[in-house]
A and B are shown apart, each in its own frame.
Chain A
Amino acid sequence: MTSFSLDVEKIRKDFPVFSRELPDGRPLVYLDSGNSSQKPNQVIETMREHLALHYSNVGRAMHVLGAESTEAYESARDRIAAFVGAPSRDEIIFTKNASEALNLVAYSFGPHHWRASGTAAGTDPRFTLGPGDEIVISEMEHHSNIVPWQLLAQRTGATLKWFGVTDDGRLDLDPAVITERTKIVSIAHQSNVLGTVNPVAEVAALAREAGALIMLDASQSVPHHPVNVAELGVDFVACTGHKMLGPSGIGVLWGRAELLDAMPPFLGGGEMIEAVWMDHSTYAPVPHKFEAGTPPIVEAIGLGAAVDYLGEIGMEAVEAHERELTGYALDALREVPSLRIIGPDSLEARGGTVSFTLEGIHPHDVGQILDDQFGVAVRVGHHCARPLHLRFGIPATTRASFYLYNTTGEIDALVRGLHHVQKVFA
């Protein structure tokens, strides 16, 4: 383990969950961080302290607690902006999760239906969408980057198109998919099933050439790699707090300020307004234009603590550690008879998510035995990416996903468990 550039044993001590045992004294082997990550003391304590001593509503309370709460909430925005390389902190919109961030952008498109009073916003041709216009996604998307665009196509009469996926789990980058009618392209930065890291620069170049906007679902990349949104060359990035050591209930949309300004509001309510009359309203500048109602205050602050924690360890070190684990896992899994890896078989442009099938054994049975007898927590099913599984002609996969706190010993436990599963079903 000395070759790792981060101290896993020290990191594990920060996560209380790793000090517990499962029923029957089994140790916990948590290989399901692609689903949701565990939380370090630094996040738990920051949230506890805020709830205990500083809690109040944000942005509107004229007292000490209101000021402290607002300061903590807005400071979390600053730190998250720095963590993802946002050129401006106002480009960081807090949402409930990545799904809401994706839906927010999808709802910005439509016919010429929206006009903010006194402004020309909403008539921006980049956000007008109707019959004949095209939305482009890919076959490897999570349902949260499919369904919002299906709904948009249904609302507007636009056409939904997609890039296919090759047999080895790569994006099939057919340039003909994007045309001059394409208005928005939205793809995963890293697949939540295959682990594939998509060639963002190439897709962005195709989108630019066609005059289309481009969005990235970075739910699986921001937690695991150094990501700089400005350098990616895209327009929007969605990610979620609970997959990056933060709590659930908080997500992030980054967008280029000029576009966020041109977009209509998403949800209406308190704090997203400038002034309200009985028959119309004007809206707050970004980011608050998109944050209607009391936000998830403590969750945002918790996410701020999470990016502090990750930043201190260094995302290069996190990435290198996961790369080593993934290489180890690919080698070990290749030795398991009749195991088929669904996704890239090499470390080339891939992250620490490995999905596979065992011939003749359903993933639910694999997951049940791994959990019951080895304490190994993996995810089984279609991982909210059913079309991708249909593409490979399989109903489900077993998925192991790694994070900074995982060890090669835990991958050994997974492999021992898989051998046992095969014995039960032999």
Chain B
Amino acid sequence: MIGESMYQELILEHYKHPQGRGLREPYDAEVHHVNPTCGDEITLRVKVDDAGQILDVSYEGQGCSISQAAASVLHELATGSTVAQTLSVVDEFTRLMQGRGQVAADEEVLGDAVAFAGVAKFPARVKCALLSWMAYKDAVVRSAAQ
């Protein structure tokens, strides 16, 4: 069944055991994003050093397994990476999510985030997967502007 392909073991694992959850100090930028159609929300903070390395992505939010697992995977992928690298992952993830299931996932770039490929077939759920990733992009842009 299609639903089975969406609820990958990795997604359920991240939902039950979210990585890096909780808002932490210090941070350079904090953003709050909501999905008005379903009420999912996230508050997300980033801490970036002068060399553009992501020192921490911390977050707090509520929502479905897809939105919460996506935030957890994002935390793992971004922390320790650089702004430039992570923004290209965000772009690839966005391309996959908006591909209506017709876009092949680049596992090299996406790592664990490739588990969300099945979500792209459900237009109503794409925004769930993208919520934290869009918040992250927003936060990184704001931190750079400071």
Contacts and interface: CB of A to CB of B under 8 A. Distances in A.
A364 B122 CA distance: 12
Nearest to A370: B3
Given A381-B38, A396-B39, A425-B12, A362 B64 contact: yes
Contacts of A389: 39
- Secondary structure at the A interface, as helix, strand, loop or mixed, is helix
Contacts of B40: 395
Nearest to B7: A424
Interface size class of A (residues with CB under 8 A): 10 to 19
B3 A372 contact: yes
A19 to B, nearest CB: 23
A350 interface: no
- Secondary structure at the B interface, as helix, strand, loop or mixed, is helix
A372 B3 CA distance: 5
B39 A369 contact: no
B3 A364 contact: no
Contacts of A424: 7, 12
A419 to B, nearest CB: 15
A382 B36 CA distance: 10
A368 B38 contact: no
Interface string B57-100: 00000111110100000000000000000000000000000000
B105 interface: no
Interface of A: 24, 361-365, 368-369, 371-373, 381-382, 386, 389, 395-396, 424-425
B6 interface: yes
A362 B4 CA distance: 16
Contacts of A365: 7, 64-66
Contacts of B66: 364-365
B3 A395 contact: no
Given A24-B1, A425-B12, A382 B39 contact: yes
24 contacts: A24-B1, A362-B64, A363-B64, A364-B38, A364-B64, A365-B64, A368-B3, A368-B122, A368-B125, A369-B3, A369-B7, A371-B3, A372-B1, A372-B2, A372-B3, A372-B6, A373-B3, A373-B4, A386-B39, A395-B63, A396-B38, A396-B39, A425-B16, A425-B65
